[in-house]
Every structure is written in C-alpha cells, then in structure tokens.
Amino acid sequence: MTATIQRSGSCDVFASPQLVALVEDACCRCVAKATMPHDTNAASGSVECWDWTDAQGDRLSTVGTAMTMKHVAATPVGMLVTATATITHVKPNRSGDCLGSGAVFEFSAKVVDHIDESSSVRVDIGSATHTRVVVKKDRFLAAATAKLDKSNL
C-alpha cells in the first residue's frame, strides 16, 4: 500500500505503516515457530497458528507493545517487500515460563525490497526492534470489549 493511500505521505511509494505491519507479521511468525516447532504450518501465515494453549487450557497469543523502526529507502509500486525477524531475547514470566502469560519476546527485524521472489538483488529499506508480550487471549479480548461498556457507545 502506498503512502498516499495510507495517508502517511503524498508520494506513491511503499508506506511506512505497511513496513510496521510487515515487521509485526514477521515477529508473529517467529513466535509461531517457537511455540509449534514441529508444526510445518506454523509459519504459513495462518492466524490460527499464532495462538497456543497453556497447561491450564487457556488460549495464549502475543500483542505488540513497542516498536522502533527505520524506513531508510523508498520502494516504488510494483516491487515486493519482505520482512524477516529474529527473536533476540525472551524474558520469562514470574513463574519462569518463557511461553506463559506475561512472558516478553524481543525481536530484531530487517525489511528488504526486490523485483520478485527469485531475485538475488535485495535492497535494505528498513529495520526495526519490536517487543511482544504473551497474553491470555480470551481475558485480553474481554478487557478490550469491556471498554465499550464503559464508554456508553
């Protein structure tokens, strides 16, 4: 999506908010690989693969809490943009569980553009660090929904 369409600028080039979204997607794929290392579909892009269940049966997921990014080069319409991420640190929750509610994942990501999937010429266009926290999905969504009741909408 271009900056013009995204309303993040007036140039028809790859938009910075889309770079942020690609980085979050790449980080979620890393978590999927970490939580389901034997599931060949874990990094397929299916959102269902990004959730897992703890020993108590609670559905867990991660939510983004911080990102610092640099978008250093313009990408014209027609080029592909891809992001890759690496887990750089995992802070366990209070119980010492690296995959339990409250655990924190930190990532480093790289974003490149290229002509097509087979192209060996890939140009760095951005980088980011990102933090995601493990949450109990149902409790998290219930708390978010409860805000509607409080706002009298």
Domain ranges of the chain: 3-151
- The three-class DSSP label of residue 72 is coil
Residue type, 113: D
Q: Model pTM?
A: 0.86
Q: What is the pLDDT of residues 86-139, one digit of tens each?
A: 999 999 999 999 999 999 999 999 999 998 778 788 899 999 999 999 999 999
* C-alpha–C-alpha distance, residues 101 and 12, integer Å: 41
Span 26-34, mean pLDDT? 92
CATH of 3-151, one of 3.40.50.1820, 3.40.50.2300, 3.10.129.10, 3.40.50.170: 3.10.129.10
Q: Poorest-confidence range of 38-42, 80-84, 104-108?
A: 38-42
